[in-house]
Every structure is written in C-alpha cells, then in structure tokens.
Amino acid sequence: MNLEDEFAQYRGELLAHCYRMSGSLHDAEDAVQETYLRAWRAFAEFEHRSSVRTWLYRIATRVCLNALQHSSRRMVPSALGAPGTDPDDLETQALETGWLEPFPDLLLSADPALVVGTRQSLRLAMVAALQHLPPRQRAVLILRDVLAWQASEVAGLLDTTTAAVNSALQRARAELARLAPAEDQFSEPGEPARRALLDQYAKAFETADLAALEGLLTEDTRWEMPPIPTWFRGRADVLRLLRAKLTPGEGLRVMVETTANGQPAFAKYTRGRDGVFHAHSIQVLTLTGAGVSSVLAFHRADLFSSFGLPIDRPPESAAPLEHVQAGL
C-alpha cells in the first residue's frame, strides 16, 4: 500500500474525530485537510514509534486545538435559553454564535465495525454536550473514552502529566454526565417498529397531517431549527408551531431519507413557484420506543451536497404554484 492510500483509509475516522472536537463538518474537513498537509511534509521525519493511524490522530488533535483557540463553541438553540411558545414570534435575527452542524454517515468508513463503534459518540446530543467542555478537556475525553488511548499517550500529546490528564478526564466526565442524555435514552425501537415510525413520519410531514404527527411525537418532544434561535419543547407547543408554519396540502414537500450522526434523518425539499422542489433543511430525528423525541432541523441548503443530495429536484407531475410559503 502506498502512502497516499494508507493516509486515505483513515479519512473517515479522522473526519469524525475532528467533528467531535469542533462540532462543525466544514471545520472538520478543513482540519483533516491541514492534517494531511502536515503529515505529507513531516513523513520523512516520522520515526514509526507508533502506527501511522496514531500519528495522524496526534496531528489532527493538535490542528483542532489550534483552530479552537480562534473560534467559539458550536451551539444548539436549546443551549441558549428557554423554549418559545408562540410560533408567530420566531426570533429570526442572526446571532453572533456558531451553530452545531450534522455529520452525514456516508462520510464514515465503509467498515461496519467503525460505523457501529462511532455511532453513539457522534450522536447530536453527545456532540452538543462535548462543545461545553474546554477544548483540552474535550480532547482528553475523546482520546481516552472514544479512542481508548492510555493516559500516558494523551499526556505526551498534550505535553502534560498523566495526573493532569486523569484530573481533566474526571472533570470532563462529570460535566458530560450533567449535560448529555443517559445511555438508555439512546435506545431506539427495534424493527419493524422503527421502519414503520419513519415511514409514517415522512408521509405525515409531506402531507401536513397534524393528527398523524401528534401520534408520532412524544409528550416531551423538542423541535430546534438552527440558525433560528427559537426552539420549542413539548408536544402541544411543537404541534402549535407545525400548525402555524406547515403549509397544508399534498405535493408541497418531499422528504428524502438519509442518516446523520448515527441517527435517522430526512432531507426536506419544498416546492417553489417554478414547480421545482428546492433544498430546505436537514431534519435529524431522535427516536425512542414512545416515538419521535427530538427533531433538529438544520435550515441550511448548503448542507445537502455533503449528504450526496442535489439542491433541486425536478417537479413530480405537478404544475407550478402561484403562492407557496416556505414553512418548516
């Protein structure tokens, strides 16, 4: 295997590592590119005291820590304040904050073991919680608990002591336990219930069937729409939002199934006046045995290409419309 192929085989997991550190797919892509650039330049001096994989992770972690010195943490709307209750009073003014981004599962390695192994550590709730940790604590926790590095390896990378690493890990674990959902909250329904739930959700959303959606959402469900800072919690308030913003009727929306952060997701297209379906948002769902407990709808058409999806979809035997609201 030549050097280029050896580097390339680790791209997916390095991208996931940099994404955990930064909370941003685009920042992670930049970090991996910089990692490979540094690795190419320094490979002649690589002494093979570790594997190439470990060496690349060391470079990538340093790149991320350096980048995080000059950027703010990535947030979700629920981290900024209390939920809203009035769908007619959405706060749409842009805030001076960076928003968490979804991670398309297709960017991971094709190795099933890697996909399964990274699934929980990439879930949106977990990555959002990681962003609350100081960057060095974040690195310690990821290297120790996700990548299973020894404390001495982490200490060598961060130029500190093993005792300092263990102390940072304890603090990081305590903070993560406070912020992140318990592991049993990640339990999704088994098949065929999961498949049925996703099919029913997509159909209900495409047709704006609020009665069906009411039966699919959990009582404590939440709805977030970055970069819109207003968010909603509880089935009643979420349904009030959908009733106000989801234009009724069929043929106005198309939901394309995908996956992100190890979770089910849908790319939502809305029909424009030209009859074409235009990219609107990426919805990442959290499922439990009781239904859909959370929807993070990223209102960014520029994310679609990362999911291998087109910005526009041709009309599906529908005439152009005179008036179509953007809606949700």
DSSP state of 281: E
Query: Cα–Cα distance between 218 and 293 in angstroms, integer?
Result: 5
Least confident of 4-8, 34-38, 103-107, 134-138: 4-8
Instruction: Answer yes or no: is pLDDT of 115 > 80.
Output: no
Residue 145: per-residue pLDDT: 95
| 62 secondary structure, DSSP code | H
> Residue 185 carries which DSSP code?
G
Averaged over 237-253, what is the pLDDT? 93
Sequence-ordered alpha helix ranges (H) in 43-122:
52-68, 112-122
pLDDT at 323 over 60: no
pLDDT 10s digits, 26-50: 999 999 999 999 998 888 777 777 7
Residue 217 burial by CB count (10 A; 0-12/13-18/19+): exposed, middle or buried? buried
What's the pLDDT at 70? 85
Task: Tell me whether strands 263-271 and 253-260 are parallel, antiparallel or unpaired.
Answer: antiparallel
Peptide linkage before 227 cis (omega within 30 of 0): yes
How far is it, in rounded angstroms, from Cα 292 to Cα 216? 6
pLDDT (0 to 100) of residue 298: 97
Percent of the chain with pLDDT over 90: 73
**% of the chain surpassing 70 pLDDT:** 88
Distance CA 179, CA 173 (A): 10
Neighbouring-strand partners of residue 312: 278
> Would you call 28 exposed, middle or buried from its count of C-beta atoms within 10 A (0-12, 13-18, 19+)?
buried
Residue 304 has pLDDT above 60, yes or no: yes
Q: Measuring CA to CA, how many Å separate 108 from each of 15, 264, 299? A: 8, 15, 23
Split at pLDDT 50, 70, 90, the class of 320 is: very low
Token pair belonging to 16: 């996931």
Higher pLDDT, residue 166 or 322: 166
